[in-house]
Amino acid sequence: MMSDVACTEADEDVLQYPASPQVVHYAEQALLGALLLVPERLKTIGPLKPEHFANTAHSALFAAMRTVSPPTPEVHRARPVWPNQLLDAAQPQARALTASYLHTLISACPTDAHAPAYAQMVRSGHARRVLRRHAGLLAQAARAPGPDPARTVLTRADQLAVYLDELTTAFPSHPGSMPRTPPLPASTAEASVEAEDEERMLLATATAHPDGLPRMRWLHEGDFTVPAHAALYACLTALSRRGAPVDPITLLWEAQQRGLLREGLQPAEVLDLLAHRAGAPEYWGQKVLQRTLLAQAGAVAARIEALTADDATSIHQLATGSRRALSALSSVRARWHQAVGDTSSGTRAVPPPTLQASLPRQPAAPVGPAMRHPARPAR
């Protein structure tokens, strides 16, 4: 029999687990139990890596299975050489592993013949976690912009797109692949004092330098956070398209003809807004559009996070829904590249090689309720 190892106080801390483990946790246990029972099943489970396991103890145990040569079937049936070797190899990386826990893994396996199915469940759980990690990085880039927020957001979006390509290849499609998770409400750029100031500066400079308006077709009314500012910008573009004179008075007249002054906008307020200007309209237009780009990226990330949180959504459904969400960023992205004169809009960044390995893992967990009778090797 395997010699049990006493749990230290630190081991007890590691073995603590949230109240309700996810289904993939039991799939990991069943798979490891099958491989403990029948080491030959390692040849049948397909491509699987230690980092595919959410539980660190499970990951360490599977890594040991990949490095320790299993005994012959005759020796394995006669003595517990294989479990003892695995325990010795895995314990330096996962001190919570004990001989009793290996017995629990064996008890958690209904039948070792289903090991390939359990392995696919483990791969699916890993894919869901990595996709959620990509969405989290995209959301972080949108919420906390750095020196070049647009480039950072688009790089994260490219990495997400590359990973979705990998998912589509690794997980085949099936009937009913459209996601069932309800879509989130449409998101717009968040109104703030800074956003309002940028929009006011854009209106003032565009009125003073209307020759730049034809070059700013990449900016839309929907990019403004203040409806009155969007309406005044529509007046400016209308005057420019007609070739009409553009100045504060003609803009005020156009606003009156469109009924804007009946909606609470005062003439003196408009003239005061246009009196304070600095810089070029293209500069402020890019500021406004960049805010839309970040808001749209945040909405994409929120949609993907909602999809990954729905356990009833398959991996192929996740990939399909995530592609649809990401496509909403494409039009804003194209307009951004027009605004900054970037011709590299079709290139994708390669995801960092350490992204998947650096995913946060769940703590090593004791198993949920153990089965009373250990599974027997399928014959």
Q: Which of 189-193, 196-200, 370-374 has the highest mean pLDDT?
A: 196-200
The per-residue pLDDT for 239 is 95
pLDDT of 252 over the 90 cut: yes
Q: How confident is the model at residue 343 (pLDDT cuts 50, 70, 90)?
A: low
With contact defined as beta carbons under 8 Å apart, do 349 and 160 qualify?
no
pLDDT of 114 over the 50 cut: yes
Mean pLDDT of 128-135: 96
79-83, 221-225, 282-286, 287-291: range with lowest mean pLDDT: 79-83
42-56, 75-89, 138-152, 363-377: range with lowest mean pLDDT: 363-377
Q: Which amino acid is at 281?
A: P
The per-residue pLDDT for 363 is 42
Give exposure, 35-58, as e/b (b: 16+ Cβ within 10 Å).
bbbbbebbeebeebebbbbbbbbb
Collect all residues with Cβ–Cβ distance below 8 Å to 345 and sequence separation of at least 6.
333, 334, 337
Phi, psi for residue 116 in degrees, rounded to 5 = -60, -35
Mean pLDDT of 220-249: 94
What is the CATH T-level fold of the domain 9-124, as seen in this structure?
A: DNAb Helicase; Chain A (1.10.860)
pLDDT of 379 over the 80 cut: no
pLDDT of 352 over the 60 cut: no
Name the CATH architecture for the domain at 193-288. Answer: Orthogonal Bundle (1.10)
pLDDT of 288 over the 70 cut: yes
9-124 matches 193-288 in fold: yes
Q: Which of 7-11, 60-64, 338-342 has the highest mean pLDDT?
A: 60-64
Per-residue pLDDT reduced to its tens digit, 9-26: 434 334 445 556 889 999
The per-residue pLDDT for 128 is 95
Mean pLDDT of 277-282: 90
Mean pLDDT of 327-338: 94
Give the long-range contacts of residues 100-105, CB within 8 A, separation 24 or more.
100/4, 101/57, 101/366, 101/367, 102/2, 102/36, 102/61, 103/2, 103/374, 104/29, 104/366, 104/367, 104/370, 105/29, 105/32, 105/33, 105/36, 105/367
Q: How confident is the model at residue 188 (pLDDT cuts 50, 70, 90)?
A: low
- Comparison of pLDDT for 7 and 158, the residue scoring more: 158
pLDDT of 347 over the 70 cut: no
Mean of the per-residue pLDDT values of the chain: 84
Listed in sequence order, the DSSP H helices in the chain are 9-15, 23-37, 56-67, 73-78, 81-90, 99-107, 115-143, 149-170, 193-208, 227-242, 248-257, 267-274, 281-309, 315-340
Mean pLDDT of 58-68: 95
pLDDT of 358 over the 60 cut: no
The per-residue pLDDT for 182 is 64
Sign, CA torsion 56/62/63/64: positive
Q: Which string of DSSP letters, residue by residue, matches 204-239?
A: HHHHH-GGGGGGGTT--GGG-SSHHHHHHHHHHHHH
Tally of residues, the chain: 379
The per-residue pLDDT for 52 is 96
Mean pLDDT of 185-190: 58
The per-residue pLDDT for 304 is 94
pLDDT of 362 over the 90 cut: no
Give the integer Cα–Cα distance in Å for 39 and 242: 78
CA angle 324, 124, 85 (to 5 degrees): 155
Q: How confident is the model at residue 192 (pLDDT cuts 50, 70, 90)?
A: confident
Mean pLDDT of 341-367: 47
pLDDT of 232 over the 90 cut: yes
Q: Domain map of the chain by residue range?
A: 9-124, 193-288
- Comparison of pLDDT for 139 and 170, the residue scoring more: 139
129-138, 165-174, 210-219, 342-351: range with lowest mean pLDDT: 342-351
- Comparison of pLDDT for 71 and 206, the residue scoring more: 206
42-51, 108-117, 255-264, 369-378: range with lowest mean pLDDT: 369-378
